[in-house]
Structure 1
Amino acid sequence: MIKILTLVCFAVSLLLSSCSEENKDEPAAEKKAPPPLAVEVITVSDESLPLWISFTGRTEATKRVEVRARVSGRLDQVLFTEGDYVNEGDTLFVIEKDSYEAALAQARAQLQMNQASLKLARADVERYRPLVAEDLAPRATLEQYEAREAELIAAIKADEAAIKGAELNLSYTNVTAPISGRVSRKLIDVGNIVGYGEQTVLTTIVSDNPMYAYFNPTENLFQIMRIHKSRDKMPAMVTVSGDRQGLVQREPLKGEVDFSDNRVDNNTGTISMRALVANDDHSLLEGTFVYVEVMITDQASLMLIPPGVVQEDQQGSYVYVLDENNSAKRVNIKSGHESRYYMIVTEGLKGGEKIIISGFAKLRPGVPIDPKDVTDSKGIKATLKKHGLMATEA
């Protein structure tokens, strides 16, 4: 009986042990391989696209004028709002008119007085001329009247000039805008005396349409632009970055490069260049930090990739591409010129590769990939089109 119980207990323990081992194996069996990493890819190709070079720059007004008082007197009125856009000929300031109106009235009165005297002098000449011809009056008297007539004729011409001068000075009491543009703040308050001893600066006006954008390429880039440019005047695009909240949305301003300096700056090794762009809505202000894109050729056959996809380590630059097994594969590359929107690849890619452009934090060689092709929306051609850089017209 004891032997039977012993055998039963032993069998039960074996059964329980077997069940325990099976339970230990169940979690291992339930473990699954991680899902493929979802990433975006674009297909790269060696295709003809416009080649743009990016620079940073600053805007500058095409015209800057100091508005000065051309006559002296008390400043009576300010007729503009500081910072507003004004048109050429708009009255900005009024200087006291009283003394200039009086000077004009005096000049006109002097003219009338001399005209009356001339009328009398001519009558004397006409009366004495026949008398002298018949020796009834001395010639000296006639000559005096003729001299008086000539003197008054000259005086009248001087009076007419004085009237024009007085009218001009009176017109200067209305200080007008010499150009259209954005006016600065007033520099002199109403009630102050202006114009004595110097032409007082009252405000300044800058003309902002069109607008200049100055930038400074290196000597090497300048030579590249000269060699490869396909037009006499290279098209340019000026953009202003929006704020971080995306509250500022500005369209690129189109124009062309209209100036390059004739010397290299010894201190910086750069050359000053300038783009002239339309600013029809006057949204671009002088002194704004801008990006200047210059198109040096409209058809460049190059291997281009987004600059943000390039990784760096001790071995150099590389990108991840999709291999035949839909896994991530590292490809070492050598790069050339880089702009804001693309990088030129000189070695490592042949064209047709699908480059991974997202998910870099989890990417490793051999990682399974679930690719989404976004070439049509995020490829180089799509990026250039989005930013207005596919158009070849200036």
Structure 2
Amino acid sequence: MNMETNIGGDPATYAPLDGARRRKRALIIGGLLILAVLVLAGMFMRGGEKPAAPVDSAPQVTVIVPGRRSITAEISAVGNITARREMPVGIPGEGGIVRAVLVDAGTWVAAGQVLAVVDRSVQTEQAAAIEGQIAQAKADAQLARQNLDRAKRLVGNGFISRADVDTRQAALDSANARVSVAQAQLAQQRALIGRLDVRAPTAGLVLTRSVEAGQIVGPGSAALFRVASKGEMELQARLAEADLARLRVGSRATVTPVGTNFRIEGSIWQISPVIDPNTRQGTVRIALPYHEALRPGGFASAEIGGSTGNVPLLPESAVLSDAQGNYVYVIDGNNTVARRPVKVGQTTENGVTIASGLAGNERVVASAGAFLNPGDKITPQLQAVR
């Protein structure tokens, strides 16, 4: 039996094996091509995106540039309502029994108006007696003039001497003097009678009445009436020394009597020239026009407008405080936090005024200052000023 071995023989005997290898190789190449296409497509799609920005580790903090604003200081105060010019009215004359009271509390009166009448029967009789003395003195003067005229005619004929004429002239002068004295006494008596009328010294509102008909009054009696001149009122409020220094005569004020919703406009007309050494307070007097809600002795609150200043204004959250005082955090050109001591002024509904320590052009941390420390780096976020 012959067996042939075909070593290195006809390649046709290997044809099926080479076809399988070629298919396998084609599949591998095709897969690589597909993978390459996918990679290229992904790179193309990402080509329009910007590279991610580097992460900034500095925290973002809101800052504000306060600038400077015109602020009118408002000072709150409380005090008592009184008449601005209260006029006590008493008895100007010798007094007597009150016959009639013509007005009551709450009445508006004119200057010189009669408020009460005191009995004048005795004074009237005295005036009548003086009028009789005047009539008698005038009659004596008339007789003395007639005697003088006759004497002057007779002295020329030599019937009487010149001394007799002089005597008659003196009698006439004396009679005329008695007439003048009696007339002066009558005028005085009439003036005394007029003073028995209790009159209003000025136009205004009667605040109190302390007299009744039948009452006996005299120069030593207490005031019978009290009149508020022109009905003008005022609020007397006690303020701290520092607040007084911020006020000026003429500053406007709004007064609200207790228990009412009325807002009455007035102005400061006097600031106390002295300070109580014990309380360190002084009195400010606010002039008010008449209003039915203003009653002397009542209580009222006031909002007083003080001086106007051009100062920086910050939100309350920007101002911090510790044992060293008030301060804010400002941001320098390198975005570094720095502590700045400040003096706080008035607190308003819009924020806190800064009396000193800021020029107004600084970048100030508006909030979150409690979480910062001097020297920290931040990313400032500017907030617009409202």
Q: Give TM-score scaled by structure 1 length.
A: 0.60
CA contact (8 A) 1:87 1:177 kept: yes
Higher alpha-carbon deviation: 140-149 or 45-54: 45-54
CA contact (8 A) 1:216 1:270 kept: yes
CA contact (8 A) 1:259 1:275 kept: yes
Aligned pairs for 1:222-241 (under 5 A) are 222-225=244-247, 233-241=249-257
Aligned pairs for 1:83-98 (under 5 A) are 83-98=106-121
Question: SS state of the match for residue 178, structure 1?
Answer: coil
Question: SS state of the match for residue 143, structure 2?
Answer: helix
Matched, 1:291 2:270: no
Shift of 1:169: 1.9
Aligned pairs for 1:1-394 (under 5 A) are 47-69=69-91, 70-195=93-218, 198=220, 201-207=223-229, 209-225=231-247, 233-243=249-259, 248-255=260-267, 257-277=268-288, 279-298=289-308, 300-303=310-313, 336-338=344-346, 344=352, 346=354
Q: Distance in 2 between matches of 1:341 and 1:79?
A: 53
Q: Distance in 1 between matches of 2:108 and 2:316?
A: 41
Tell me: CA distance 1:342–1:134, structure 2 relative to 1, closer, same or farther (3 Å).
Answer: farther
Q: Distance in 2 between matches of 1:224 and 1:186?
A: 40
CA contact (8 A) 1:234 1:296 kept: no
Higher alpha-carbon deviation: 115-124 or 263-272: 263-272
- Please list the CA deviations of residues 286-330 of structure 1 after superposition, one character each: whole Å capped at 9, or x if unmatched: 2332333333334544427799xx9x9xxx99xxxxxxxxxxxxx
Q: Distance in 1 between matches of 2:125 and 2:139?
A: 21
Q: Distance in 2 between matches of 1:209 and 1:304?
A: 44
Letter in 2 for 1:117: D
- Please list the CA deviations of residues 162-192 of structure 1 after superposition, one character each: whole Å capped at 9, or x if unmatched: 2211221222232111122332443233212
Letter in 2 for 1:239: V
Shift of 1:262: 3.0
Question: SS state of the match for residue 272, structure 1?
Answer: strand
Gaps of 5+ in 1: 1-42, 318-332, 355-379, 381-394
Question: SS state of the match for residue 107, structure 1?
Answer: helix
Q: Distance in 2 between matches of 1:71 and 1:288?
A: 36
- Please list the CA deviations of residues 150-170 of structure 1 after superposition, one character each: whole Å capped at 9, or x if unmatched: 112211211221221122122
Tell me: CA distance 1:194–1:82, structure 2 relative to 1, closer, same or farther (3 Å).
Answer: same
Question: SS state of the match for residue 216, structure 1?
Answer: strand
Q: Distance in 2 between matches of 1:287 and 1:340?
A: 31
Gaps of 5+ in 2: 1-63, 327-340, 368-385
Q: Distance in 2 between matches of 1:44 and 1:56?
A: 36
Shift of 1:218: 2.4
Structure-2 residue corresponding to 1:328? none
Q: Distance in 1 between matches of 2:80 and 2:227?
A: 18
Tell me: CA distance 1:68–1:338, structure 2 relative to 1, closer, same or farther (3 Å).
Answer: same
CA contact (8 A) 1:54 1:340 kept: no
Shift of 1:97: 2.8
Question: SS state of the match for residue 85, structure 2?
Answer: strand
Structure-2 residue corresponding to 1:29? none
Letter in 2 for 1:252: I
Tell me: CA distance 1:260–1:345, structure 2 relative to 1, closer, same or farther (3 Å).
Answer: closer
What is the aligned length?
287
Q: Distance in 1 between matches of 2:178 and 2:261?
A: 67
Q: Distance in 1 between matches of 2:180 and 2:104?
A: 43
Shift of 1:122: 0.8
Letter in 2 for 1:223: A
Letter in 1 for 2:140: S
Q: Distance in 2 between matches of 1:250 and 1:203?
A: 28
Q: Distance in 1 between matches of 2:141 and 2:108?
A: 52
Sequence identity percentage: 19
Q: Give TM-score scaled by structure 2 length.
A: 0.61
Q: Distance in 2 between matches of 1:132 and 1:184?
A: 73
